[in-house]
Structure 1
Amino acid sequence: MFKCKLKVLLILCGVLGFSLNPTVALQGSDSIKIGGLFPFTGRLADYGLILKNATELAVEQINAQGGILGRWVELIIEDTGSDPSVAYDRAVKLIEVYGVSVIIGPLSGGATMPVSSVTVLNQVVLIPFSSSPIITILDDNGFVFRTSTSAAMLGVALAQAALSKGYERIALIARDDAYAVGVANSLRTSFENLGGAVTSVSLYDPGTSDFSAQIAAASADNPDAISLVTWGIDGEQLITQMVAAGVTNFDLFTDGLRYQDLWDQLCGQVGPGVLEGKVGMAFGSTITWARAERFVNDYRDRYGEAPSIFAANAYDAIMVVALAIARADEVSGTAIRDNLCAVANPPGEVVTYAEISQALSLLVQGEEINYEGVSGLVDFDEWGDTTSAVFELWRIEGCEVVTQELVEVSEVVKLVPELSYLLEDPYNRIAEFPEEIQRQVQDSGTIPVAIWLNAPLPDEIVNRSNEFKESVGEGWSLDEVREWRQEVFEDKSAWYADVEEEVVQFLNTNGFWDEDRSYACLAAPVLYTDLPVDPSERRIFEELRRLNVVDTIYLAGVFEPKLDSAVPTIEAPSVWSRKDSSGNNLRGTNVRIAIVESGRIDFTLAPFASSKRNH
């Protein structure tokens, strides 16, 4: 059994990066490289060191047992800067420069979306820490997993805490991002289902530092409590501004505010009196379980403090990846993906913290294992989410963050995130929709949706479609091009029609297929129809999602610019980094673009009739 001490190297090359290597580790291709995307700068910087410490501890323990497959594990960490575009660039670097097959992180949902676009494309496993519900239905080909828990579960636990404190009416202030909106939506729905009332929901822009408008809106109806669904420095600024405004009924915090340094600062700024007895719910709370006691002690001995939020999830992420590699006997992303459930889920002999040697021995013998982590059971469902969670109900006592009790939540209905906020409209966003959609919601109780299907074209159609591109049309007459286009169009239409038939029959059976308003696209795997906004009809969304052919459901016709995710998704940064003949970065200046729409367009619709563009 090898013993080795890990050495952390700080590399400054224009951006912050870390390379975690055993002092006697094998170099180059001999090490198994695991990437890490953690925030050491920016608004989420408070969590970067926590994630680094926990993953470092896991790698240290694995290498102390001789590594995996006779090779050392090397952790290569990049700073995301708390910025989605930076996270995307660092993910590309980890994949293209270091050749990693798995990336742990990033932390936020806003960064996870663009990063997943490049990891999935390159068949790299991604284990982010974001709790955003939208991650559940990412088109990820099975390459995205989470050891952290969906925000939908946190909202349920928080609603139970509100009820236990005797609150009947609450207001919400939430950061306008995927994570916070998911928690707020779940909290609102769950609290109302328990008989409570939500007086208002106020969202704030992530870039703001003035929360006066949100504080005024939340306190207007004198709720029993105002829940703050926020992170780090935002929470500090919110609470100090609320106290300054004379509003002290803030309570019901989320995991993003569970760290001692924050409350030390707040106690000095606003005094301990207004903070005493306030409570919050946190992920990763199962580090207080008996089986995780050794993890807590080892972490404290190694770093001089107790593990905080996400530490247990980060540790478990490294461990399940290492065990999946050992079971697969190879390091590819596909092999890791295909073996994660096998080492984390029942059946199999249960192994947990400090039992890595036993787990590896069982795998060598051909035995199955069931890793139960320090963050929880770490059983993955079909979406790569954990199947249950235990949350920590924490409270402030004498400016100290203490654990009050543990709350278990499971079997949460997974609403389609793109539409879940529409079912209850907690943020009154229907008022932001075009007038024709507002009228439809009010008059018929339905909304127009686009149902995209998982229907990859057969190779023969793809090859036929690429025939013209590969020949660049050399020697083709205009009639030949038209004939080729018509043949390809007919082949695609016939294929999609067969795939779409199952969904059309389902919608027709349930009364949601109207021949006058519903239609199937001829040249793409997408159906357009109207679905109900009444919460009692939400089963339709769930039943649709259970159809194997259904991929994603979107609101049809309403689009908002999301440059933080769209720009990296289309790989614009990689294009901008290229040089033209003069040595200047490409920026698209003086490039003229033509758009040819060959799909089905109803030019009688208001958006086209009123448009001044030449359609």
Structure 2
Amino acid sequence: MRLAGMAGVAGLAGCIGQEDVQEGGNTGGSGDSGNGGDSGGDTTESGGGGDESSGEPVDVGVVIPFSGDLSDFGGPMMNALRMAQKDINAAGGPLGRELKLHDEDSGTDSTQGVNAANKLVDTNGVSAVIGAVSSGVTISIAKSVTIPNEVLHITSASSSPSISTLDDDDLVFRTRTNDRFVAKVMARIIEDQGVEKASVVFINNDFGEALADTFESSFSGTTTTTVGYESGQSSYQQVLAKAFEDDPGFVAFAGYPESGTTMLSQWAEEGYGGNWVLHTSLLSEDVISNVGAEVMNDMYGVRTKPPSGGATESFVSDYQEAYPDAQVFDPYSWNSYDALVSYALAVEKAGTTDAAEVKKAMREVSNSPGEAVGYTEFGAGADKIGAGTDIDYSGPSGNVNYDDNGDVASDMVIVQVEDGTFANKDTIPADELV
């Protein structure tokens, strides 16, 4: 089955039609989707804990934002997860079982996210949860749902350093780089411009507070002020006035697209001056189009750098063919694909969906040493595992090497807005930021 499936993997990835988007949560609702787009079935009895002899599906829950301040990310992330799902199932699935995705909207809200995760665990019986995006929502889900219920938890977008120190019994992993890296690069950008004064604007949650703290400790100049804000406000004039009261040359901005669009637009309208360095979460083409390219030109940003070679390029090509009307939101789309594939390979290695065993296998299938397994190669990886061969998975996001905290380390790239798009500039190696 796997040999036959592998021959069609690339084709299947390129044939994921727009109807698949409509079946899942990226329309703002929730649904259960299996291989071939099955949805809506009752899977209460088919969830976690099965073993290799079980013919039941491997049920994976997804809690990501299809509404709220981070809704720009939900659709692209879900698209990437469906690509991974189809690649996995085309190759026979983990343990020869169909992998099913059950998606729920986090609403970029901790209470809604926890309720969604509880539904996935209690009603759908999922063996793992992927999500969320907001670090605050992810931490709430981990503390209230996945850790107490001993469910494996992978986030492909949350970046707060606080996640690294969770008392999680090694159940929480992430394919997104820790924000310590991002904050250090933001500080370096400003220093390299010869600017000695900077302020920080951050959203009031675990993600924003941790980034502000790391930036302030990393920046060699003077941090004039750090200003927290709440999302969903119609006016951010008070925040802007405080951020620019001491005439900083730059503002490091840790926020989300919806509120970020409002704030940057009001900054331009009032003529505050200075410049901005944007966190990865603000690097959406929609932000540029909504704020205006003429306003955002010359702003800086930071994001993880994809690996050199063909994996990322092939993924982007397949994504654009499958979803021609949806942007590839890097790095979260790449990271989402890799989160699901690394989990499926760990299930194969563990011989069960029991989180107590799968968590032991997460590093075994993704870290060196081992034979390389790459993008669209789940079937080859499963065959190697079956033959007793150690494997080392890497995908569109690069090496998925989970450290002792379940984190990965990635090179970072400085971007700048040029002619209405984010253009890559300098690369900062991960080993300079650890």
TM-score (norm 1): 0.62
**Does the residue aligned with 2:399 lie in a helix, a strand or coil?**
coil
Identity of aligned residues (%): 27
**Within 1, Cα distance between the matches of 2:309 and 2:252?**
27
- Following TM superposition, by how much is the alpha carbon of 1:261 offset from its aligned partner in structure 2, in angstroms? 1.4
- The question of whether the paired residues in 2 share the 8 Å contact of 1:25 and 1:31 is answered with no
Q: 1:172 and 2:200 equivalent? A: yes
Q: Which runs of 5+ in 2 are unaligned?
A: 47-55
Q: How does 1:171-190 map to 2 (within 5 A)?
A: 171-190=199-218
- Following TM superposition, by how much is the alpha carbon of 1:18 offset from its aligned partner in structure 2, in angstroms? 2.4
**Does the residue aligned with 1:223 lie in a helix, a strand or coil?**
coil
Q: 1:318 and 2:340 equivalent? A: yes
- Following TM superposition, by how much is the alpha carbon of 1:291 offset from its aligned partner in structure 2, in angstroms? 3.5
- The question of whether the paired residues in 2 share the 8 Å contact of 1:177 and 1:206 is answered with no
- The question of whether the paired residues in 1 share the 8 Å contact of 2:181 and 2:412 is answered with no
- The question of whether the paired residues in 2 share the 8 Å contact of 1:25 and 1:72 is answered with no
- The question of whether the paired residues in 2 share the 8 Å contact of 1:287 and 1:296 is answered with no
- The question of whether the paired residues in 2 share the 8 Å contact of 1:155 and 1:183 is answered with yes
Residue equivalent to 1:163: 191
What are the superposed Cα offsets for residues 234-257 of structure 1, whole Å, 9 maximum, x if unpaired? 111111111122113231111111
**Within 2, Cα distance between the matches of 1:217 and 1:227?**
14
- The question of whether the paired residues in 2 share the 8 Å contact of 1:132 and 1:182 is answered with yes
Q: 1:113 and 2:139 equivalent? A: yes
Q: How does 1:6-405 map to 2 (within 5 A)?
A: 8=20, 10=23, 16-23=29-36, 28=43, 29=46, 30-117=56-143, 118-128=145-155, 129-192=157-220, 196-267=221-292, 272-283=293-304, 285-286=305-306, 290-304=310-324, 305=326, 307-309=328-330, 310-386=332-408, 388-405=409-426
- Following TM superposition, by how much is the alpha carbon of 1:290 offset from its aligned partner in structure 2, in angstroms? 4.2
CA gap 1:397/1:216 in 2 versus in 1, 3 angstroms: same
What are the superposed Cα offsets for residues 368-403 of structure 1, whole Å, 9 maximum, x if unpaired? 1111222131111111111x2122322111112222
**Within 2, Cα distance between the matches of 1:289 and 1:312?**
14
More off after superposition, 404-413 vs 71-80 = 404-413
- The question of whether the paired residues in 1 share the 8 Å contact of 2:150 and 2:171 is answered with yes
Question: Which residue identity lines up with residue 36 of structure 2 in the other structure?
Answer: T
CA gap 1:287/1:409 in 2 versus in 1, 3 angstroms: closer
**Within 2, Cα distance between the matches of 1:204 and 1:24?**
40
- The question of whether the paired residues in 2 share the 8 Å contact of 1:287 and 1:312 is answered with no
**Within 1, Cα distance between the matches of 2:379 and 2:23?**
30
CA gap 1:338/1:37 in 2 versus in 1, 3 angstroms: same
**Does the residue aligned with 1:372 lie in a helix, a strand or coil?**
strand
Q: How does 1:504-515 map to 2 (within 5 A)?
A: none
**Within 2, Cα distance between the matches of 1:107 and 1:232?**
12
Question: Which residue identity lines up with residue 132 of structure 1 in the other structure?
Answer: S
> How many residues are treated as equivalent by the alignment?
402
**Within 1, Cα distance between the matches of 2:282 and 2:24?**
30
- Following TM superposition, by how much is the alpha carbon of 1:287 offset from its aligned partner in structure 2, in angstroms? 6.0
- The question of whether the paired residues in 1 share the 8 Å contact of 2:24 and 2:33 is answered with no
Q: How does 1:373-452 map to 2 (within 5 A)?
A: 373-386=395-408, 388-410=409-431
**Does the residue aligned with 1:23 lie in a helix, a strand or coil?**
helix
Q: Which runs of 5+ in 1 are unaligned?
A: 414-615
**Does the residue aligned with 2:234 lie in a helix, a strand or coil?**
coil
TM-score (norm 2): 0.87
**Does the residue aligned with 1:379 lie in a helix, a strand or coil?**
coil
**Within 2, Cα distance between the matches of 1:408 and 1:65?**
35
- Following TM superposition, by how much is the alpha carbon of 1:165 offset from its aligned partner in structure 2, in angstroms? 2.6
- The question of whether the paired residues in 1 share the 8 Å contact of 2:154 and 2:339 is answered with yes
**Within 2, Cα distance between the matches of 1:201 and 1:314?**
31
- The question of whether the paired residues in 1 share the 8 Å contact of 2:366 and 2:402 is answered with yes
In angstroms, what is the RMSD of aligned CA positions? 2.2
- The question of whether the paired residues in 1 share the 8 Å contact of 2:24 and 2:103 is answered with no
Question: Which residue identity lines up with residue 279 of structure 1 in the other structure?
Answer: Y
**Does the residue aligned with 2:95 lie in a helix, a strand or coil?**
coil
- Following TM superposition, by how much is the alpha carbon of 1:24 offset from its aligned partner in structure 2, in angstroms? 8.4
Question: Which residue identity lines up with residue 87 of structure 2 in the other structure?
Answer: Q
Question: Which residue identity lines up with residue 30 of structure 2 in the other structure?
Answer: G
- The question of whether the paired residues in 1 share the 8 Å contact of 2:175 and 2:400 is answered with yes
- The question of whether the paired residues in 2 share the 8 Å contact of 1:132 and 1:151 is answered with yes
Compare CA radii of gyration and give the structure with the larger one: 1
- The question of whether the paired residues in 2 share the 8 Å contact of 1:390 and 1:408 is answered with yes
- Following TM superposition, by how much is the alpha carbon of 1:206 offset from its aligned partner in structure 2, in angstroms? 3.2
**Does the residue aligned with 2:112 lie in a helix, a strand or coil?**
helix
**Does the residue aligned with 1:16 lie in a helix, a strand or coil?**
coil
- Following TM superposition, by how much is the alpha carbon of 1:412 offset from its aligned partner in structure 2, in angstroms? 5.3
CA gap 1:293/1:220 in 2 versus in 1, 3 angstroms: same
CA gap 1:226/1:330 in 2 versus in 1, 3 angstroms: same
- The question of whether the paired residues in 2 share the 8 Å contact of 1:78 and 1:90 is answered with yes
Question: Which residue identity lines up with residue 79 of structure 1 in the other structure?
Answer: D
- The question of whether the paired residues in 1 share the 8 Å contact of 2:200 and 2:225 is answered with yes
**Does the residue aligned with 1:334 lie in a helix, a strand or coil?**
helix
